[in-house]
């Protein structure tokens, strides 16, 4: 089971929170992409968005997420 979200998910806060991390949770990725986490999970499962299954949850590579948001993937 994952821990409950204890922060207000907006794009800037999510990106700042992802600094130095390789993967984002679906809640963080959905905040950056301005979509519902369920929509994001469906896109991961269909192969539209890259994702890695970690136990029962999905993670999105932060490099891909930053690139999708129009930012430098290496930053």
Query: What confidence tens digit (pLDDT) does each residue in 21-73 have?
Result: 999 999 889 988 888 999 999 999 999 999 999 899 999 999 999 888 887 76
The CATH number that applies at residue 46 is 1.10.10
The verdict on residue 4 lying in a domain is: no
The verdict on residue 5 lying in a domain is: no
Question: What pLDDT was estimated at residue 16?
Answer: 81
The verdict on residue 3 lying in a domain is: no
The verdict on residue 59 lying in a domain is: yes
The verdict on residue 64 lying in a domain is: yes
Question: What pLDDT was estimated at residue 6?
Answer: 58
Complete edge-to-edge strand list for the sheet that includes strand 23-25: 23-25, 57-61, 52-54
Question: What pLDDT was estimated at residue 61?
Answer: 95
Query: What confidence tens digit (pLDDT) does each residue in 11-20 have?
Result: 777 778 888 8
Domain of residue 53: give its range: 11-68
Please indicate whether residue 6 or residue 52 has the higher confidence score (pLDDT).
52
Closest listed residue to residue 29, CA positions, set 56, 52, 55: 52
Please tell me the pTM assigned to this model: 0.78
The verdict on residue 28 lying in a domain is: yes
The verdict on residue 57 lying in a domain is: yes
The verdict on residue 21 lying in a domain is: yes
How many structural domains are present in the chain?
1
């Amino acid at each position: 089971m994952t821990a409950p979200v204890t922060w207000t998910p907006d794009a800037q806060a999510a990106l700042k929170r992802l600094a130095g991390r390789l993967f984002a949770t679906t809640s963080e990725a959905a905040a950056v992409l301005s979509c519902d986490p369920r929509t994001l999970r469906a896109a991961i499962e269909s192969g539209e968005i890259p994702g890695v299954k970690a136990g029962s949850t999905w993670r999105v590579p932060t490099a891909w997420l930053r690139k999708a948001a129009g930012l430098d993937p290496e930053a």
